[in-house]
């Protein structure tokens, strides 16, 4: 077994590590072939979904395996050997998973967590913008409430999974008030589906070493979203973002071993 088990792992966690390691060994060649062909490994991703690994961190009531943080890290570390698969696993699983568990409504959990568990709809997280990188709070994308709809305008950049993802978790500015900006209460979290009118893929980037992991530019032009697509309270986006990133750091570290 490639993964070295920790002394405090349960028997179930040791068995999980053995199972996912064997899965990776059995599918290594096909993902290597996809990598060199610069082709997204859809075939392997479908098998990952069939095994239920995409739902590693999702509670059983929403169709997941409910493996917790340790179990999710075990799956992530093993899948990290499968080129693009490990990266897509992290991005898709973190494409709102932790945020929805903590801040989502029950209807959002029923819809999106089941999508994550089934792995049929991949996810992406959209934070980086042309003028918002390391300063993630410096969001220029706006969300304006008009009647019962949110109107989204802006751009997101360097988004892993752009184009192949069907669900996009993103953040937009909902206030220009200086005091709310000082308190980081000016951002709100949303989730949008691919194909929504006005939500488009501008281009796919060619990145060295990530040849078969899509990374691209996304544009929002008068995109209309319902209030049901807002995650958390208005102005709570910074908390939602940091909560998700803290979990992402854990799983991301596991992928790189």
Specify the CATH number for the domain of residue 76. 1.10.540.10
Report d(CA 15, CA 243) in Å as an integer: 30
Q: How many CB atoms lie within 10 A of CB 213?
A: 21
Kindly report, residue by residue over 99-137, the tens digit of the pLDDT: 999 999 999 999 999 888 888 788 899 999 998 888 999
Classify residue 239: in a domain, yes or no.
Answer: no
Classify residue 163: in a domain, yes or no.
Answer: yes
Residue 94 has pLDDT above 70, yes or no: no
Same-domain status, 38 and 113? yes
DSSP 166: S
The values of phi and psi at residue 168, to 5°, are: -125, 120
For the annotated catalytic residues, the residue numbers are 248
Tokens of 208: 């060295």
Residue 201 has pLDDT above 80, yes or no: yes
Same-domain status, 108 and 61? yes
Q: What is the pLDDT of residue 217?
A: 97
Classify residue 240: in a domain, yes or no.
Answer: no
Angle between helical axes of 84-93 and 42-51 (0-180°, round to 10): 50
Same-domain status, 210 and 154? yes
Classify residue 71: in a domain, yes or no.
Answer: yes
Domains contained in the chain, number: 2
Q: What is the pLDDT of residue 95?
A: 64
- Taking Cα atoms as reference points, which of 184, 186, 199 lies closest to residue 229? 199
Same-domain status, 101 and 167? no
| Rounded percentage of the chain residues whose pLDDT exceeds 90 | 64
Range of the domain at 61: 11-120+248-255
Residue 2 has pLDDT above 80, yes or no: no
Classify residue 99: in a domain, yes or no.
Answer: yes
Classify residue 6: in a domain, yes or no.
Answer: no
Tokens of 96: 């709102």
Same-domain status, 16 and 115? yes
Classify residue 3: in a domain, yes or no.
Answer: no
Same-domain status, 113 and 33? yes
Biggest distance spanned by C-alpha atoms of the chain: 57
CATH number at residue 158: 2.40.110.10
Same-domain status, 112 and 161? no
> Mean of the pLDDT values across residues 237-248?
92
Classify residue 5: in a domain, yes or no.
Answer: no
Same-domain status, 211 and 149? yes
- What are the residue ranges of helices labelled H in the chain? 11-36, 42-51, 68-79, 84-93, 97-103, 106-108, 114-118, 178-182, 237-255
């Amino acid at each position: 077994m490639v993964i070295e088990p920790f002394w405090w792992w349960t028997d179930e966690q040791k068995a999980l590590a053995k199972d996912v390691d064997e899965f990776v060994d059995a599918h290594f060649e096909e993902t290597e072939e996809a990598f060199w062909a610069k082709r997204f490994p859809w075939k392997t991703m479908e098998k990952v979904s069939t095994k239920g690994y995409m739902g590693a961190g999702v509670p059983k009531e929403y169709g997941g395996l409910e493996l917790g943080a340790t179990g999710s890290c075990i799956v992530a570390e093993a899948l990290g050997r499968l080129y693009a698969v490990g990266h897509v696993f992290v991005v898709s699983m973190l494409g709102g998973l932790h945020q929805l568990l903590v801040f989502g409504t029950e209807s959002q959990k029923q819809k999106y967590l089941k999508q994550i568990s089934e792995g049929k709809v991949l996810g992406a997280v959209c934070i980086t913008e042309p003028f918002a990188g390391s300063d993630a709070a410096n969001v220029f994308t706006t969300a304006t409430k008009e009647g019962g709809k949110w109107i989204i305008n802006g751009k997101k950049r360097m988004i892993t999974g752009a184009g192949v993802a069907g669900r996009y978790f993103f953040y937009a500015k909902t206030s220009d008030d200086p005091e709310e900006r000082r308190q980081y209460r000016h951002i709100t979290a949303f989730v949008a589906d691919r194909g929504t009118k006005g939500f488009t893929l501008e281009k796919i980037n060619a990145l060295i070493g990530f040849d078969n992991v899509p990374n691209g530019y996304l544009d929002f032009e008068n995109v209309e979203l319902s209030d049901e697509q807002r995650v958390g309270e208005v102005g709570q986006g910074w908390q939602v973002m940091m909560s998700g990133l803290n979990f992402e750091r854990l799983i991301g570290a596991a992928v790189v071993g």
